[in-house]
A and B are shown apart, each in its own frame.
Chain A
Amino acid sequence: MSGALAWFLVALGLGVVVVRRRSLAVALVTGQALVLAVSAHGEPGAAAALAVRALVLGLLLLLVVSRTREPRPVRSGVAPLMRGGFAVILALALTWLVPTMGLASRNAERGVLALIAFGLVAVATRTATLFQVLGIVLVENGLALAALQLHNGSSAAIELGVAFDLTLIATVAVVFHERIFAEFGTGDAGALRSLRD
């Protein structure tokens, strides 16, 4: 994988951490998955699984955005620049901590770790439920990149299974998001604070 492509994927991921608009974030992760699918042209099974997953998830999430218009933007407790800073620091820390993973290129390894870090930071710092789902998708995109960069090629069966599972999880998350929106009038996970010990 070329360095430019890895950096492009990382930049799309960082965008999800910092942008405010949900639809833009959905477009970023969908675009990221489609770029991954295109880069997997040597493995048609894996590429097809990734492309279908990207489109299905993208359409599903955009539909949800249109069905659950927020009366006002859900504000995260952490400012966008801070979120971006956290994400970059965690990505650098992971790159420093995790030794060579045995993927086809070091650029790809760094890209995988960065996307996982960005996904974790998105889930931890964004309170909008949809952004938390996008954080999980971001992590899975990073893992899809890792699977595609295995020396002996990815297994189409695994790609297909992961794509199916992720779509299933995202669909269930969408059901919850809509119910939470209906119950609380907002898709803000910050409203979910009644269960504490």
Chain B
Amino acid sequence: MAFSSPNGPSPSFQRIEAVRADWNAQTPPATGWTSVTLPDDWSLRWPGFDGVVWYRLTWEQADATVPVGLMMDYLNMAGTVSLNGVQLNRDLSLTEPLTRAWNTPRYWQAASPLLKAGQNVLFIRVSGLAAYQPGLGPVKLGMPADISAQYTYEYWLRHDLQIFSLAVSVTLGCFFLALWMLRRREAEFGWFGLMSLTWCLYASNQIKASTWPFGSTDAWQAAVSIMFLLYSACFTMFVLRSGQRRYRRLEFGIWGMVVAGAIAMCLSPHDRMQETRALLALIPVMTYIASGLLFLYFAWRHRGIDQLILAACIAATLVFCIHDLLVFVKLLDSNIYYSAFASQIQTVSMALVLGWRFVANLSRIERFNDELHVTVETAKKELAQTLKRQHELEVVNVRLGERLNLAHDLHDGLGGTLVSSIATLEHAPESIPSSRFLTILKELRDDLRIIIDTASSYQLAETSLAEMLAPLRHRLGVLFESQNIVCRWQLSGIEDSHLPTAQSLDIMRILQEGLTNVLKHSRASSAHVELRDDASELVLTIRDNGVGFGLPLQESKAGTGMKSMQLRTSRLGGTFEMQRIDGETVLRIALPHRHT
């Protein structure tokens, strides 16, 4: 590449010559010079020559006061540059391990007294190895401004851009590897990360100035080739995984090739290096291109946006790859490798892919959230309906239970009395006084009344004895009032008594019977009712200051009532006591609690 200067024709080299020398030559030999053209690869002329080649460039400088710019694109592999006997540059190591200056452009501005009027000679001493395209790249001479501009450009291309793409690759590699480690499922991320890192190592060749950590150029180049093998294999794996395919045997084969290639590289002798390298470059490149095409095929099949983006990037990479391959096999006259640019494109595309995937996932999550919401709402509604139905059923159930209870109450309370009354009448003597008959009927009515009083105070919850007692107590209270009898009630502990209904009815019947006796027969002026329930027993005490019972009980008017009370008490398993204490009639009934 040469920029034409606006100020007249630029000076150019009149003679460019080269001659071989040995490793330790300090001065150029006098004879043996041949004419060469730049860029020059001496392995074409002197195959298999590892050593030092002197290049001599001469030009005529008319005016020494006008400074000139000198630019050397590169020399392969390391060397020194001197102008008119003055050393301009010396690479660090001129013998193995050679300094790797094959990608380093250099620029000098020469002015007098360095620059001489008339003939100027530029000596470039190059140390190189035949396997690695040794020689000298283009050397330019011209106006400092032009040449300097060209140099800046070359430097940027060969150095800055490479560093930039290396940095990008390292970042990408680390990022994707980290991603993969956190999410092992995404195998393609892992392979892409590995791919980037191996590419990093491979591309470091472009900027590395020494063969560290290896001891020789051969070793270094071997490592680079192996790295390229790995890179290509990783790329193949990446393509396969991203297409969700597993070809066990193919993968096995590829990795087997990698191992074989690595071993071959390590074992290859120095003079076979070039062929081995070529092989180890061609085969991976073939697989690389094949994998790339496979990826394009996958993308075309699935048309996922992310895959299409990647496909575009990979297509570009393939183009660069082919170019680099041609450069490598010297079909193209250049030594610039364009693959580095691919990494820039890769970054952008991978970033786009990731972004697209991330957004797609978010949308999926949002949609999932909505679906979940809808599902939950539906489930809630169904649950509410089911609960409501259940509740209604329960209410119906409870009502049925209540009705059943009432039937039981009637049976327990009324039924017993009815049956026993029928029995009494059936087995009674022929003539029964109608008063006896009336008493029986009244007894039945009293039982019914108590059941009615109890039933009318039924609630959904269990009723305690205290609540059941209320109607009876009120009615008796009114009656006592009308007779001007003072009646005191003392209740303790029965708010929490929940007895079976049959027992409650019996107790109330006893109470009613006892108090009716007081009302009708005792001619008392005050009465006292005590109902006490503790943990062990329920005690009912009725006291009155009336005349009491003197005569044999059976014949008194209260006889049947008393018998009925005794009967009921014994049915409840309790004790019945009737005494006369201190002018008071005391009726005491104790009912021990039956433990369930």
Decide whether A and B assemble into one complex.
Answer: no
Interface residues of A (CB under 8 A from B): none
